Amino acid sequence: MSARDVAKVGIAVVGAGFAGRVHALAARQAGARIIGVTASNPESSRTAAAAFGAELSFSDLTALIEHEDVDVVHVCTPNGTHREIVEMALSRGKHVVCEKPLATNAVDSANLSELAKGSGLRAAVAFAYRYHPMARRAWTMVHDGALGALHLLHGSYLQDWLLAPTAGNWRTLAAVGGPSRAFADIGSHWCDLAEWISGCRITDLTALTSTVYDKRPSPFTEGSPPSALSRDFVPVDTEDIACLLFRATGGVVGTLTVSQVSAGRKNRLWFQVDGSDASVAFDQENPEWLWIGTRQLNKLAPRDGSDEIGTAFGASALPPGHARGFVESFTDLFGEVYRSMGSDDPASYPTFDDGLRSTRITEAVLLSASTKGWVSVE
């Protein structure tokens, strides 16, 4: 068949944290069946299965992946486990949707990309911000030539969830989440979106990173949530902040600030693309609008599809005034992956090649920060 009936797609969700909840909700909205969930222990697996609307809970990862009704494995576990789970899923003939980063280093990411290509299976990375309708409209403006010749990309991705010195999470530990935290976690989204919208690729960069607190509470403290004073503090070996200056193809230059310690910013991915005729800016916390600027006029354009910014990709099923956002972007991504199963059409969603690209940029950021120099991006 040329495209898969989404209602017949069975998925497995591996991991029951925030990403697992989002994947389960979005997959259900896309029309798929959640066959099973597995978490860190049997009790957590049962709790997650009930919360996610899964048919079964699994304490054994292999049993879940090998279940005959599972077509797609969603990998939503800590970063350091991605490679092993993806390899297992592909070796069992299962399609994969993996949270970013695809792996914690470029060698593993490259191996997974090649493995996916050789398998003939669908393999996606969850760069879901591409599926915001107004981000897609920005893509249309750029690729229709409405901005003219591009010369500058700039923006930031700011959060505050690790602002307090008593905030702890597995992502703060390189042994669990990989050598980069803030950049690999959210800077990767910004770079993927900026490169996709602009059509430019970062060629070389210089970066500065900062870790605000050298110790944080261990994310593995046993028992009920203890007070901050009773928790064991452990060294932090990942960054809270990353600042980049970069060059990109076509003579474009740019800057990026990434932070997980910026008070009041919850999930503010903001970027602007500047061209010879116009500029366009997108703010993920206000996803129904695009800012458009020219020498004669500045305006906020709403998601209504009625003016010169046009429509893109059939980007929203909702009418104007009915806000859509974060989860729906995952829904659209997953739906595209599911419908592509059984098709020979080339992938239009973010693939493992995009995951590899992201890992290479992350490694360039860390290398530049450590050497205090410019680094080429492969």
Of the residues 77, 99, 128, which one is the last residue of a structural domain? 128
User: Do strands 279-283 and 289-293 pair parallel, antiparallel, or not at all (unpaired)?
Assistant: antiparallel
Domain co-membership, 71 together with 138 = no
Are 31 and 66 members of one domain? yes
| pLDDT given at position 1 | 34
- 169 and 309 belong to one structural domain: yes
Burial class (CB in 10 A: 0-12, 13-18, 19+), 319: exposed
Where does a domain end: 77, 106, 128? 128
> Half-sphere exposure of 156 toward its Cβ, with a 13 Å CA cutoff?
16
Of 314, 265, 307, nearest to 290 by C-alpha is 307
Asked if residue 263 and residue 159 are part of one domain, the reply reads: yes
Phi–psi pair at 132, nearest 5 degrees: -65, 130
Closest among 76, 80, 110, 111 to 96, alpha carbons compared = 76
Q: Is residue 358 part of a domain?
A: no
Say whether both 64 and 182 belong to one domain: no
Six token digits for residue 95: 């399609």
- Is 291 in contact with 141 (CB distance < 8 Å)? no
Q: Is residue 209 located within the same domain as residue 251? A: yes
Task: Return all residues near 116 (Cβ < 8 A) that are at least 6 apart.
Answer: 90, 96, 123, 351, 352
Residues 102 and 195 in one domain: no
| Spans of the chain below 70 pLDDT | 1-4, 220-231, 304-317, 320
Read off the amino acid at residue 312. A
- Under 8 Å between Cβ of 258 and 182: yes
Residue 43 in domain: yes
Number of independent structural domains in the chain: 2
Q: What is the pLDDT of residue 228?
A: 42
Q: What pLDDT score does 322 carry?
A: 75
Q: Which of 140, 221, 130, 132 is nearest to 173 (CA)?
A: 221
CA atoms within 13 A on the CB side of 96: 33
Residues 71 and 142 in one domain: no
Question: 341 in the Ramachandran plot: left (φ > 0), alpha (ψ -120 to 50) or beta?
Answer: beta
- At which of 298, 324, 350 does a domain end? 324
Tens digit of each residue's pLDDT (9 = 90 or more) over 196-223: 999 999 999 999 999 999 999 988 654 4
Domain CATH number, residue 16? 3.40.50.720
Predicted model pTM: 0.93
C-alpha distances in angstroms, 207 versus 86, 188, 312? 30, 14, 34
The alpha-carbon radius of gyration of the chain (Å, integer) is 21
Contacts of residue 317, defined as CB under 8 A and 6 or more positions apart, other chains included, come to: none
> Per the domain annotation, does 346 fall within a domain?
no
Query: Cα(94)–Cα(99) distance, rounded to whole angstroms?
Result: 16
**What domain range includes position 228?**
133-324
Q: Any idea what the CATH number is for the domain that residue 193 is in?
A: 3.30.360.10
Let me know whether 62 and 190 are in one domain.
Answer: no
Q: Looking at the structure, do residues 147 and 218 belong to the same domain, yes or no? A: yes
